[in-house]
Amino acid sequence: MRMKDKVALITGAASGMGAATARLFGREGATVFVADLLDKEGADVVDSIKKAQGKARYLHLDVTDEAGWQATIAEIEKSAGGLDVLVNNAGISGSAEQDLYDTAAWNRLMGINATGVFLGMKHGIPAMKKRATQGKKGGSVINLSSVSGIVGQGYIHVGYNASKGAVRMITKAGAAQHGRDNIRVNSVHPGLMPPMRTSGRTADPVMRAKTLKGVPLGRAGEVDEVAHAILFLASDESSYITGAELVVDGGWTAV
Ligand SMILES: NC(=O)c1ccc[n+]([C@@H]2O[C@H](COP(=O)([O-])OP(=O)(O)OC[C@H]3O[C@@H](n4cnc5c(N)ncnc54)[C@H](O)[C@@H]3O)[C@@H](O)[C@H]2O)c1
């Protein structure tokens, strides 16, 4: 059990990679808080974890809502006694926008993808500090960036790349600032994965086939392949890794 005795909060965990990570953490012995806007889907994820003998609970959280973050962290501290792992996974795609410089889309993308991560660290880390300095193995924050936080793309709203680039650097700032608190902060950068709920062009089979030509492993990734990378960074196996960016892209950005 690689997550035994750990309390974890995963945002955007009703769907996709967040849901896969929640189920994997549940199988590995964590107490998992599944947070999202999609209450029905989130409750279904919790049910599936419980059916597999795991411990989980759903909490409604809009990651752009600072008061919501405060209430969420307070509830976790009250009911589970503290927080060890925070996975800032909630996000929206920029590939459905027609105008790649639309201002409203910029604000939406930055608000959810970047400010949402900032607020998670702002309110999650103080709670994690209490346990990390009490002789446990320390806390771990994992922020979901993307290959779009490393390289630019011609077919995605610029706010998606900017927000994911911000996540990459918030992560490194967090690593620099919280190492002495025994809290590690790392980012994960998925490549071509099953489309997001909010995907547009990146869900188009013709576009995906074109992208695949540049992926050395020659296939799209699976949500469990990202969940396993997140599990490694959440577990004590990665105890000397902080400020790192773990690319899970089949080699896309290596060529
Ligand atoms: N799928 C991909 O191709 C891909 C590639 C690289 C990175 N990513 C990143 O990985 C993360 C997960 O993506 P996914 O593929 O699982 O997408 P998804 O659309 O399946 O899941 C995203 C989840 O975030 C939730 N969410 C959206 N806005 C929210 C908000 N304001 N508050 C709380 N929850 C909110 C959604 O309800 C959804 O459940 C995202 O940050 C995404 O940008 C995805």
| 2 in any annotated domain | no
Cβ–ligand 1 contact at 231 (below 6 Å): no
| 129 in any annotated domain | yes
Atom of ligand 1 nearest to the CA of 144: 41
| Residue (of 35, 113, 45, 43) closest to 71 by Cα position | 35
Per-residue pLDDT of 38-52, as tens digits, reads: 999 999 999 999 999
* pLDDT on residue 136: 59
Asked whether residue 197 carries a pLDDT value surpassing 90, the answer given is: yes
What is the best residue among 86, 170, 197 to mutate for testing ligand 1's pocket, by most ligand atoms within 8 Å of CB?
A: 197
In the chain, the number of structural domains is: 1
| 236 in any annotated domain | yes
* pLDDT on residue 201: 93
| 17 in any annotated domain | yes
* pLDDT on residue 47: 98
Cβ–ligand 1 contact at 36 (below 6 Å): yes
pTM: 0.98
Cβ–ligand 1 contact at 120 (below 6 Å): no
The domain in which residue 27 lies consists of 7-254
The Cα 85–Cα 146 span in angstroms is 20
| 24 in any annotated domain | yes
**Beta-ladder partners of 189:** 247
Indicate which residues carry an active-site annotation.
160
Across 24-68, where does the E strand assignment appear?
A: 31-36, 55-60
Asked whether residue 133 carries a pLDDT value surpassing 80, the answer given is: no
Reported confidence tier of residue 135, pLDDT bands at 50, 70, 90? low
Q: Give 181's DSSP letter.
A: G
| 28 in any annotated domain | yes
Which CATH number belongs to the domain containing residue 82 in this structure? 3.40.50.720
| Residue (of 90, 47, 43, 41) closest to 68 by Cα position | 90
Asked whether residue 134 carries a pLDDT value surpassing 90, the answer given is: no
| 149 in any annotated domain | yes
| 224 in any annotated domain | yes
